[in-house]
């Protein structure tokens, strides 16, 4: 099952807001449909929104839309993952937007498998791996980055166990990562976000492996909650790995200068569609954390394992 695919000049997106209960594709016929899907997390995860953005540009070109205007609007859909701007700029510079988007689609799959091979070398037989959010097949075209490394270790015959943080407020861990691991037959346990430190303190986690929305000077941006996991990992001596393709690298900016998306307060005020907090509650809802380089053991890429910069 693919997170997204192109067919008959339309983009099909697996609607991740309905998972794990329903498997349904949204059909996008315009670039504005894709922007809507990116903003509402129908498609999400840095590599997946990058490839979706490239196809959004192809839809704009097919419709005869103003490509510069479409590019600006698509880039503004979500600010933190660098893949969005990277993908739009790349197709704009190419000879054929659609051909380049199709190339990026294939590259994403190849990249994740290469990343998996490198990453599997740091995973030992018997390891328990903790992950946060969903950096899996659903966050890419398929296979995944952090979960791709876990898949690769499993394919190598290593006996591994996975612990998924539920990842409030949108529950990408509970809804998406647990689902992916179950489909793969990899033993998985779900914990509330606040339990990660406790499990590390008890020696129940051998390694942490997460994805990234941006790797920049000074560290890595990833889903809110990643910083607390990294701090606990440092305190309890648990190696902390980030798996990210080179398309997620931003060599021009400091990680402290980038925009961190602040999402709708309603995500925090309710749980699974039910209002949880009193009326008139004020909310902060930053969607991403910055994990400083000194908390990161290594960055697993398709080219090998790198030190953060
Ligand atoms: O808000 P999301 O669900 O798009 O956030 C996704 C993450 O934080 C992922 O860990 C990141 O994009 C890496 S996905 C390979």
Question: Which tens digit of pLDDT belongs to each residue from 241-251?
Answer: 999 999 999 99
Give pLDDT, residue 25. 98
Give pLDDT, residue 82. 95
Q: How far is the CA of 177 from the centre of ligand 1 (A)?
A: 11
Q: pLDDT for 22-65, tens place per residue?
A: 999 999 999 999 999 999 999 999 999 999 999 999 999 999 99
Ligand 1 atom nearest the C-alpha of 172 is 3
pLDDT band at 172 (very low <50, low <70, confident <90, very high): very high
| Residue to probe by mutation, ligand 1, list 4, 119, 223, most atoms within 8 Å of CB | 223
Q: How far is the CA of 241 from the centre of ligand 1 (A)?
A: 15
| Residue to probe by mutation, ligand 1, list 81, 262, 290, most atoms within 8 Å of CB | 81
Ligand 1 atom nearest the C-alpha of 140 is 15
Ligand 1 atom nearest the C-alpha of 146 is 15
Give pLDDT, residue 273. 83
Give pLDDT, residue 303. 97
Residues 198-236 as b/e (b if ≥16 CB within 10 A, e otherwise) read ebbeeebbbbbbbbbbbbbebbbbbbbbbbbbbebbbee
CB 171 within 8 A of CB 204: no
Q: Is the pLDDT of residue 254 over 90?
A: yes
- Give the sheet arrangement for strand 288-292, strand by strand: 249-254, 214-217, 219-223, 288-292
Structure tokens at 125: 């037989």
CA–CA distances in Å: residue 171 to residues 19, 50, 141, 142, 301: 11, 21, 20, 20, 26
What phi and psi values does residue 77 have, to the nearest 5 degrees?
-60, -45
Give pLDDT, residue 78. 97
Residue closest to 74 by CA, chosen among 43, 105, 53: 53
DSSP state of 123: P
For range 264-272, the mean pLDDT:
93
Q: How far is the CA of 81 from the centre of ligand 1 (A)?
A: 8
Cα–Cα distance measured from residue 163 to residue 178, given in angstroms and rounded to the nearest whole number: 9
**How many percent of the chain have pLDDT more than 90?**
98
For range 124-139, the mean pLDDT:
98
Cis peptide before 69 (omega within 30 of 0): no
Which domains does the chain possess?
Answer: 4-111 (1.20.120.420), 121-306 (3.40.50.10470)
Of 142, 213, 250, 289, catalytic:
213
Give pLDDT, residue 271. 87
Q: How far is the CA of 291 from the centre of ligand 1 (A)?
A: 14
Whether 213 sits among the annotated catalytic residues: the reply is: yes
Residue 182: CB atoms within 10 Å: 12
pLDDT band at 272 (very low <50, low <70, confident <90, very high): confident
Structure tokens at 15: 């609607």
Q: Is the pLDDT of residue 1 over 90?
A: no
N-term to C-term CA, the chain: 35
Cα–Cα distance measured from residue 214 to residue 77, given in angstroms and rounded to the nearest whole number: 16
pTM higher than 0.95 for the full model?
yes
Q: How far is the CA of 232 from the centre of ligand 1 (A)?
A: 20
Structure tokens at 247: 């398309």
Ligand 1 atom nearest the C-alpha of 46 is 12
CB 173 within 8 A of CB 163: no
Pocket of ligand 1 (CB under 6 A): 44-47, 81, 133, 135, 139-140, 145, 172, 211-213, 222-223, 287
Mean per-residue pLDDT of the chain = 97
Which bin fits 84, alpha (ψ -120 to 50), beta or left (φ > 0)? alpha
Alpha helices in 145-297 (DSSP H): 146-155, 172, 178-184, 196-201, 226-235, 266-269
Q: pLDDT for 54-90, tens place per residue?
A: 999 999 999 999 999 999 999 999 999 999 999 999 9
Give pLDDT, residue 229. 98
Element containing residue 288 per DSSP (H, E): strand 288-292
For range 266-286, the mean pLDDT:
94
Residue closest to 34 by CA, chosen among 176, 90, 21, 61: 61
Q: Is the pLDDT of residue 264 over 90?
A: yes
């Amino acid at each position: 099952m693919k997170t997204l695919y192109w067919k008959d000049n339309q983009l099909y997106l697996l609607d991740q807001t309905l998972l794990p209960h329903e498997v349904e594709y949204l059909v996008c016929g315009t670039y504005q449909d894709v922007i809507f899907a990116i903003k509402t997390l129908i498609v999400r995860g840095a590599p997946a929104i990058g490839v979706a953005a490239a196809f959004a540009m192809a839809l704009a070109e097919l419709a005869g839309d103003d490509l510069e205007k479409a590019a600006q609007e698509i880039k503004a859909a979500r600010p933190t993952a660098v893949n969005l701007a990277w993908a739009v700029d790349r197709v704009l510079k190419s000879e054929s937007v659609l051909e380049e988007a199709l190339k990026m689609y294939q590259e994403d799959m190849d990249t994740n498998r290469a990343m998996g091979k490198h990453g599997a070398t740091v995973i030992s037989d018997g390891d328990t791996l903790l992950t946060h959010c969903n950096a899996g097949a659903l966050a890419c075209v398929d296979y995944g980055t952090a979960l791709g490394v876990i898949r690769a270790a499993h394919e190598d015959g290593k006996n591994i166990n996975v612990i998924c943080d539920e990842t409030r407020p949108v529950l990408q861990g509970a809804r998406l990562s647990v689902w992916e691991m179950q489909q793969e037959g990899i033993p998985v346990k779900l914990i509330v976000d606040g339990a990660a430190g406790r499990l590390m303190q008890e020696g129940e986690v051998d390694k942490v492996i997460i994805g990234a929305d941006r790797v920049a000077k000074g560290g890595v941006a990833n889903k809110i909650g990643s910083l607390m996991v990294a701090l606990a990992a440092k305190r309890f001596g648990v190696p902390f790995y980030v798996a990210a393709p080179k398309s997620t690298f931003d060599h021009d900016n400091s990680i402290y200068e980038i925009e961190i998306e602040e999402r709708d307060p309603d995500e925090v005020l309710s749980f699974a569609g039910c209002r949880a907090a009193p009326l008139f509650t004020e909310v902060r809802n930053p969607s991403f954390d910055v994990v400083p380089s000194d908390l990161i053991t290594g960055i697993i890429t398709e080219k090998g394992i790198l030190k953060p910069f």
